[in-house]
Amino acid sequence: MVSESRLEELNFVLIPLLAASHIIPMVDMAKLLAQRGVTVTLVMTPLNAIRFTAVIDCAIGSGLLIRVLELQFPAKEAGLPEGCESADCLPALAFRRNFFAAIDMLQDQAEKLLQEMKTKPSCIICDTHIAWTAETADKFQIPRIIFDGMSCFTQLCMHNLYIMKDQNEIPESGPFVIPDLPDRIEVTKAQLPGAFNPGTLCIQDIRDKIRAAENRAYGVVINTFEDLEQRYVDKFRKLKDCRVWCIGPLSLCNNENQDKAQRGNKASFDKEEYLKKWLDFWQPESVVYACFGSLGRITVVQFVELALGLEASGCPFVLVIKAGEGQAPIEDWISKNGFEKRTTERGLLIRGWAPQVLILSHPTIGAFLTHCGWNSTLEGISAGVPMITWPLFSEQFLNERFLVHVLRMGARVGSQGVMHLGEEKKSQVQVNREEVTKAITEVMDKEDEGKERRKRAKELGQRAKKAAENDGSSHLSLTLLIKEIQEFQLNES
């Protein structure tokens, strides 16, 4: 077991990618590590740190040794608007390259601050997209463990797709089977992430640099639990010389309603009173919660189909609508169509950030209409809620296959292809209102297949909670990770 007497000498440095969906699980990870007695240093920029002040201050106030190291973000130097410190704040697709250039500029500043720290860094756990951390870990002669927020299932899919790509075996059209997986997983090229299905903005050089740095990593931490995907965990461990630690679901470290509500950002309304009162009004498992995550965007024509599909389902619903730039056409339609007024008795519209974990944990939620980002996917699994899958971009179609074909706890709306970030306006309607209503009805059905899907979802939710308990697989995996770093440090001293 981990020696308590030497835990205070461990300093885990966590460096997330500057995007809400990447920082959230890292903050959860920081709390879990600090609960085990190690010091954790979170590296962020000022505006991102402000977003997470409440949850971090609460953790520190409870006695956890979490420190925030702030780096000044070089927005102006990288050609970004002032104050644009997060990927979900980028005003346009064209700024993605500038954003990664700014991330690269943080290296010297980070290394200087790490060098000045009283407690020497024991390891770096970094987002896989921050390639310069490979050089930093070499300079400090410490292990670098990567985290990229994907499941072992998706990691294996990506690994095998890279092999297919290198051998020019990915067909341009039509479905094909991803080889060498425990289950038959069929996709099309149009449904694949940008590495295999590039958009108009060419960032292949950035992807290549990230992948090269990935291959130099000491190990990988995964936000999953073994009982969810044991066959995929086993195969992925073989690929990574057994240095794979499954420590999720990370969201389950938030036990109190206040933690669930504050996780990620400030909600856009009185979360603890109004939301609870609204949800409490409905029958158990009767409400549909619909949210496309912090980065997901859909056009006004596609939003219309979503909104009218929800309305036609007859179910009470919570619909999260993005705030800020680009949302004016959607708000204009809501106003002119009278949608919000017409559905006011059974529909709750949340504009901006929603306390998702808090909502999903409420007993009246009967289904989660999701974009299938892995954070959201695992949060839905942990809550034991069946899902209506509507992938948008990145690896989300792979996550959909996992939910629908492997776990059999989801139903598709029928989205056919990736809408690359920033290119949403080019896409026509992919999913119509009838398909939305059909998928909702299918998942909310209390008989036959719907009943079985709901039963599987609840069982997986129970397994998720068991994994996070003191004798669970994820708790043990975190113990083994800390022990590994402790032994590395002892051998080096």
Phi, psi for 12 (deg, rounded to 5): -85, 120
- What pLDDT score was predicted for residue 265? 55
pLDDT digits (tens, 9 = 90+) for 44-67: 999 999 999 999 999 999 999 999
**Separation CA 328–CA 301 (nearest Å):** 13
200 three-class SS: coil
Q: Are 38 and 50 in contact (CB under 8 A)?
A: no
The type of residue at 422 is G
- What pLDDT score was predicted for residue 492? 81
- What pLDDT score was predicted for residue 259? 62
pLDDT digits (tens, 9 = 90+) for 376-414: 999 999 999 999 999 999 999 999 999 999 999 999 999
pLDDT digits (tens, 9 = 90+) for 118-174: 999 999 999 999 999 999 999 999 999 999 899 999 999 999 999 999 999 999 999
Summarize the confidence of residues 340-347 as an average pLDDT.
96
CA torsion, points 347, 349, 355, 361, in degrees to nearest 10? 10
- What pLDDT score was predicted for residue 427? 57
Domains of the chain and any CATH numbers = 4-171+201-252+469-492 (3.40.50.2000), 266-465 (3.40.50.2000)
For residue 68, the surrounding DSSP H or E stretch is strand 66-70
- What pLDDT score was predicted for residue 260? 55
Handedness of CA 413, 419, 425, 427 (dihedral sign): negative
pLDDT digits (tens, 9 = 90+) for 100-126: 999 999 999 999 999 999 999 999 999
**Separation CA 164–CA 285 (nearest Å):** 42
Q: Which residues lie below 8 Å from residue 87, measured CB to CB, with a gap of 6+?
A: 17, 18, 19, 22, 96, 99, 295
Closest CA to 133 of 119, 145, 120: 145
Summarize the confidence of residues 330-343 as an average pLDDT.
96
**Separation CA 404–CA 407 (nearest Å):** 6
Q: What angle do CA 1, 235, 122 make, to 5 degrees?
A: 40
**Separation CA 142–CA 228 (nearest Å):** 31
In DSSP terms, 15 is beta-bridged to 126
Structure letter (DSSP) for residue 252 = G
Q: Which residues lie below 8 Å from residue 400, measured CB to CB, with a gap of 6+?
A: 372, 389, 391, 410, 412
Summarize the confidence of residues 416-420 as an average pLDDT.
85
Classify residue 348 by burial, with Cβ atoms within 10 Å: 0-12, 13-18, 19+.
buried
Q: Which residues lie below 8 Å from residue 17, measured CB to CB, with a gap of 6+?
A: 23, 87, 103, 127, 129, 130
Q: At what angle do helices 20-35 and 374-383 cross, to 10 degrees?
A: 50
- Check pLDDT > 80 for residue 466: yes
167 three-class SS: coil
